[in-house]
């Protein structure tokens, strides 16, 4: 499908999807917004919120209806993420990492694996994430050191993974490992394994500047044994391709998070500028503030459109890493820009936890780092353009 045809795809969502979005907005208003400050300030995991998201079906948002999921398009899913992130960005991470794991299983798992795991993933009975990053390896995943050796019945895993969402509160992780350290290029020796927490891995919660409330951990694997059938796919050596495929959806998610956070920063700034007065008039009447609001709004709208185009490309089934990379790059930089401008518009009040601005300011930098740094996105975009 070419770009011209893609651009003509109708972005109108179904009535059922509208009902889902409406239900989520009500949930955010009633069950999330009143509790954000409490959970965020104490860095406390929002268990009740996570459980209610499971009731709403968010843990199966993009899982096929054949396995009990909602089967939502990436377009609708990105709208959900935007709305959630405009209230509390951390909450979107709980189901994003989970759904990347689910996408890997649904695309590449055996029928037996899909039939066993996906219904449990969709209901939230089993919740998890992806374990890729290591203390000495982030963007360059081919340099991972975590190894899995096998005998006739089991894999034995040794190594350390870090910055892993849902590793503390979750039940299972899709772990990227080296099953063959001798082969070249290195990615041919990498595989993706499903590992349950009760099979022996030990998580440790990490402290963070922002993105608080959600559990982010470091995981130690020391002679952790899992059955051979926990390999995702039918053969070893496909792990990197499998997880990179899932990260296309992950980058659309992060772009949508950027849109949501940028929107929240703009909305709060508009409201504040209409009530805050200097020199006898609202600061919204000052040209310097108007210029800031105009640029924030323009960048926000461009970010939203890029994210929608990436979601359309993903839904078409074609390779979408170029569109996802562009959306992730621009939307997350917009979140950084808008949160900084919001801080300036709010002045000293923006620096106080009485307002949400300081939270936006702390949360935004993660978006430029997570799911591949923005520096990496530029390289991906350039390579695709050259090809």
pLDDT at 121: 98
CATH level 2 (architecture), domain 241-386: Up-down Bundle (1.20)
Residues in the chain, pLDDT under 50: 1, 3-10
Q: How many CB atoms lie within 10 A of CB 17?
A: 18
Give Rg (Cα) of the chain.
Answer: 21
Cβ partners under 8 Å of residue 355, min gap 6: 268, 272, 346, 349
Give the three-class secondary structure for 173: strand
CB atoms within 10 A of CB 128: 28
Q: What pLDDT does 10 receive?
A: 45
E strand map for 302-379: none
pLDDT at 285: 95
First to last CA, the chain: 17
What is the per-residue pLDDT for 1?
42
| Domain residue limits, the chain | 3-123, 128-238, 241-386
Q: Which of 97, 100, 85 is nearest to 25 (CA)?
A: 85
H or E element, residue 290: helix 287-315
For domain 128-238, the question of CATH label 2.40.110.10 is answered with yes
Number of H helices, E strands in the chain: 12, 9
Stretch (H or E) spanning 165: strand 154-165
Question: What's the pLDDT score for residue 14?
Answer: 84
Whole-angstrom distance, CA of residue 144 vs CA of residue 160: 9
Residue 260 has what pLDDT? 98
Selected catalytic residue, list 112, 371, 375, 387: 371
Residue 6's pLDDT is 44
Q: Specify the pLDDT at position 96.
A: 92
pLDDT of residue 11: 54
Question: CA–CA separation, 316 vs 323, rounded Å?
Answer: 12
Do 265 and 357 form a contact (C-beta atoms < 8 A)? yes
Question: Which of 192, 169, 27 lies closest to 102 in space, CA to CA?
Answer: 192
Q: Per this entry, what is the length of the chain?
A: 387
Active site residue 106: no
10 Å CB burial of residue 256 (0-12, 13-18, 19+) is: buried
* Top-level class of domain 3-123: mainly alpha
CA distance 172 to 296: 39
């Amino acid at each position: 499908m070419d770009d011209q045809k893609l651009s003509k795809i109708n972005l109108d969502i179904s009535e059922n999807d509208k009902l889902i979005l409406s239900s989520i907005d009500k949930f955010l208003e009633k069950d999330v917004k009143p509790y954000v400050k409490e959970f965020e300030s104490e860095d406390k995991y929002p268990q009740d919120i996570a459980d209610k998201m499971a009731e709403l079906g968010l843990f199966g948002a993009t899982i096929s209806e054949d396995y009990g999921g909602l089967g939502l398009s990436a377009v609708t899913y990105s709208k959900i993420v935007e709305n959630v992130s405009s209230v509390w960005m951390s909450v979107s991470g709980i189901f994003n990492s989970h759904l990347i794991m689910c996408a890997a299983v649904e695309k590449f798992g055996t029928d037996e694996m899909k039939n066993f795991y996906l219904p449990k993933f969709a209901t939230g009975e089993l919740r998890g994430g992806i374990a890729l990053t290591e203390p000495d390896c982030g963007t360059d995943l081919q340099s991972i050191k975590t190894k899995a050796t096998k005998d006739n019945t089991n894999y034995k895993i040794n190594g350390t993974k870090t910055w892993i969402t849902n590793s503390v509160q979750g039940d299972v992780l899709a772990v990227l490992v080296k099953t063959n350290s001798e082969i070249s290029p290195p990615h041919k020796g990498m595989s993706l394994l499903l590992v349950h927490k009760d099979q022996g891995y030990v998580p440790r919660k990490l402290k963070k500047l922002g993105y608080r409330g959600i559990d982010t951990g470091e995981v130690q694997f020391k002679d952790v044994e899992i059955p051979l059938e926990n390999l995702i796919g039918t053969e070893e050596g496909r792990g990197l391709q499998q997880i990179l495929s899932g990260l296309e959806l992950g980058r659309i998610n992060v772009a949508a998070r950027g849109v949501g956070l940028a929107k929240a920063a703009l909305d709060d700034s508009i409201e504040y500028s209409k009530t805050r007065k200097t020199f006898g008039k609202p600061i919204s009447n000052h040209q310097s503030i108007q210029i800031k609001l105009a640029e924030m709004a323009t960048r926000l709208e461009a970010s939203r459109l890029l994210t929608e185009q990436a979601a359309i490309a993903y839904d078409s089934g074609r390779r979408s890493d170029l569109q996802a990379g562009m959306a992730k790059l621009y939307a997350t930089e917009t979140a950084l820009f808008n949160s900084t401008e919001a801080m300036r518009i709010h002045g000293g009040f923006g620096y106080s936890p009485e307002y949400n601005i300081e939270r936006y300011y702390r949360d935004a930098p993660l978006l430029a780092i997570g799911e591949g740094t923005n520096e990496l996105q530029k390289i991906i975009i350039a390579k695709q353009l050259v090809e």
